[in-house]
């Protein structure tokens, strides 16, 4: 289960986001815990206009989300959406398919939903491709003939590329997200990282939470779990035990945990909710819907937005 980012969501009324241009023509937007790196390929004037629209879309977004926090931190109903804002409704829509089977809140999709919302203002005819990278949860836009190459990492806290996946215009994938106990949010499972490719970034985010939770050895005596609220008092997870330490596992234990997560991922692929998944646990990888060629670049950072000519995103 993903919770809110490690920094609590809060906003100062009337505050403008921080805006900066980065190397390679990328745009950086930051407001509180939301930190976006944005890129677009196309004519310079059109890219500038797209960036201006992305800034306008992002301004005030955190404050709007904060007004709905009681709803967003409550268990989602599979039948009734009480969220009002566009991002909040996107979050609920992403977790709705899981809400009848488990405890999950719309916060499980917050990073992906924010990325998708900002991308909706950025994308337009004339751009070859564009992306919004929200801490590794990425929303993509591709024009016909364009593609991205996505680099996959096995540990967000100590990253190295384990493979790549090419996403082209014909692919249904437009969202990528990664979850796991070593990442920036809480997890109930023991996966180092689970990366999901899905039709939207919000769905990728929610599904990464669900699959990462499923990679587990629930009765292992040496897996340390502690109440989430002891580390983040306002977390949506409350007293639910989140993973804090995983000991070295045997080959059989790793296989058992990965098979549990893989069964969950395959079910989501079968239901049409996601397109592919890569699961990582202590040096072992399992995947569905992906062939993982050797990475082109070793030792890359986990979530950098690419230089536009490189065409690489890391999730």
Tell me if 107 sits within 8 A of 92, measured CB to CB: no
The pTM for the full model equals 0.89
Q: Is residue 88 within 8 Å of residue 72, measured between CB atoms?
A: yes
Query: Cβ(177)–Cβ(137) under 8 Å?
Result: yes
Q: By percentage, how much of the chain surpasses pLDDT 90?
A: 80
Asked if residues 5 and 33 have their Cβ atoms less than 8 Å apart, the reply is yes
Q: pLDDT tens-digit profile of 63-72?
A: 999 999 999 9
Ordered domains of the chain (ranges, CATH):
18-305 (3.10.520.10)
pLDDT given for residue 13 in this prediction: 53
Tell me the pLDDT tens digit for each residue of 256-267. 999 999 999 999
Instruction: Please count the CA atoms within 13 angstroms of the CA of 22 that sit on its side-chain side.
Output: 17
The sign of the dihedral angle between the CA atoms of 230, 235, 241, 243 is negative
Residues 6+ apart with CB under 8 A from 215: 180, 189, 190, 191, 194, 257, 258, 260, 261, 279, 281
- Region of 283 on the Ramachandran plot (φ > 0 left; ψ -120 to 50 alpha; else beta): left
Residue-averaged pLDDT of the chain: 89
């Amino acid at each position: 289960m993903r919770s809110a980012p490690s920094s609590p969501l809060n906003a100062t009324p009337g505050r403008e986001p921080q805006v900066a241009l980065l190397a390679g023509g990328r745009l950086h937007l930051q407001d509180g815990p939301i930190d976006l790196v944005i890129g677009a390929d196309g004519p310079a004037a059109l890219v500038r206009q797209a960036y201006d629209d992305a800034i306008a879309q992002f301004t005030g977004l955190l404050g709007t989300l904060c007004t709905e926090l009681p709803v967003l931190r409550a268990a989602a109903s599979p039948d009734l959406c009480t969220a009002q804002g566009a991002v909040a409704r996107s979050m609920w829509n992403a977790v709705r398919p899981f809400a009848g089977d488990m405890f999950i809140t719309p916060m499980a999709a917050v990073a992906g939903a924010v990325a998708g919302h900002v991308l909706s203002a950025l994308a337009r005819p004339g751009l070859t491709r564009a992306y919004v990278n929200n801490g590794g949860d990425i929303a993509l836009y591709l024009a016909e003939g364009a593609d991205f190459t996505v680099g996959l990492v096995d540990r967000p806290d100590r990253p190295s590329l384990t493979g790549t996946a090419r996403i082209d215009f014909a692919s249904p994938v437009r969202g990528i997200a990664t979850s796991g106990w070593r990442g920036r949010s809480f997890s109930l499972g023991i996966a180092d990282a689970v990366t999901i490719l899905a039709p939207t970034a919000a769905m990728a985010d929610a599904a990464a939470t669900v699959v990462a939770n499923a990679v587990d050895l629930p009765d292992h005596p040496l897996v340390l779990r502690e109440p989430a609220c002891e580390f983040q008092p306002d977390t949506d997870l409350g007293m639910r035990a989140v993973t804090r330490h995983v000991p070295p596992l045997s080959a059989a234990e790793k296989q058992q945990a990965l098979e549990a997560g893989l069964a969950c991922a395959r079910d989501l692929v079968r239901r049409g909710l996601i397109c592919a998944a890569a699961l990582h646990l202590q040096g072992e990888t399992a995947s569905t819907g992906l062939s993982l060629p050797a990475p082109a670049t070793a030792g890359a950072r986990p979530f950098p937005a690419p230089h536009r000519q490189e065409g690489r995103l890391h999730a």
